[in-house]
Amino acid sequence: MGFLSLELRCSECGAQFRRRAEQVAEDADRASRDVEQGSEKTRPAVPIECPTCGRITPADKRFCSQCGYSLEEPSDGGDRVRGRICRGCRRAYPKDKRFCPYCGDRAVRRPARIRRKLPGSAGRDLAIMIAMFFTHVIVILVLRGAPEGAASILVADVALALVTVIFAAFAWHHVKPQLQTPGVSLPLYALVIAGSLVTVGCMLVWVGFIRELIGLPHIRLRELFGKNPPSFPVMVIFIAVFPAVFEELAFRGVMQGVMRTLSTKTAAIVVTAILFSLIHFQFLNLGLVVLAFYLGLLREWTGSLYPGMVAHFCHNFLALVSEEMM
């Protein structure tokens, strides 16, 4: 013989449930007895859904077992209180208790010395950045001992590009988002190029000042190719195109991306600019530092590598043109 079932709705959380008619009658009798005995409040026999986190809590609990939110309406009409979650047994209990009533764990532990540890991914990325920087330094030092000529510069560019691509593949999660967006609209690239004019001007003024102050000889970029320099378009490829693409991929893509996850934007720009200046072995070139900061700001403002590549190319191209016109 089947039992009669009724559709009911919870008065606190509004959840629908089915109860047998006999159980409903028993609950009604129990509630009437509690009222006759002077009970201030009766609790429903069905589980309660926490209004804060949504966890289903047994009806006999006063606090949510997940977030510690009070499941009882305050008698004075005030706000509900939030209980504590025990660190030992993970049960909820009133916030005014100093010890857990279930396991005796202390509510407020003595502050321990906190040692900051890098997450696994951050430590791996930092190791990739350091290894990439010193690999660039070793490759540059080795190739500096090679005889001057277009072949040596080509080998250096290809070797550095290969190293950059390999390390960028290991840190692809930092590089990929910066390659998926153009950064700025096409008309705003005119402002990017205008900024390159400023960086080139700063570099030429500073280099001229240092030469007059210290008496350094004037070394033209054409002289880096030896006695038989290539044509001007080939020099543009070696001096402007290769560095613009692969140096931006290495410094603003990998190194600044890694530093951005470990520190603030300002610290990431400063550290990347210092590493960029060190890798060029031009410690007195203030114009190079200005360029590094400008490229770092472009990367942070636009979230893309393409504006920095354009600015880097224009800087090197204008520097080469200015020397050819002198």
**Per-residue model confidence as pLDDT tens for the chain (326 residues):** 444 444 555 554 545 545 555 565 676 667 666 655 554 444 445 666 666 666 676 766 766 666 666 666 555 555 555 566 666 666 666 766 767 766 666 554 443 343 444 445 677 888 889 999 999 888 888 877 777 777 777 888 888 899 999 999 998 888 888 888 777 788 888 899 999 999 988 888 888 887 788 776 666 777 777 777 788 888 888 889 999 999 999 999 999 989 988 888 899 999 999 999 888 877 667 888 899 999 999 999 888 999 999 999 999 999 888 887 76
Tell me, what's the pLDDT at 4?
A: 47
Tell me, what's the pLDDT at 7?
A: 52
The CA distance from 221 to 128, in Å, is: 32
Tell me, what's the pLDDT at 43?
A: 46
Tell me, what's the pLDDT at 322?
A: 85
Tell me, what's the pLDDT at 252?
A: 93
Domain positions in the chain = 1-22+41-108, 120-325
pTM: 0.61
Q: Which residues pair with 56 in a beta bridge?
A: 49
Write the CB contacts of 119 (distance below 8 Å, at least 6 apart in sequence). none
The CA distance from 45 to 11, in Å, is: 11
Tell me, what's the pLDDT at 89?
A: 63
Tell me, what's the pLDDT at 210?
A: 79
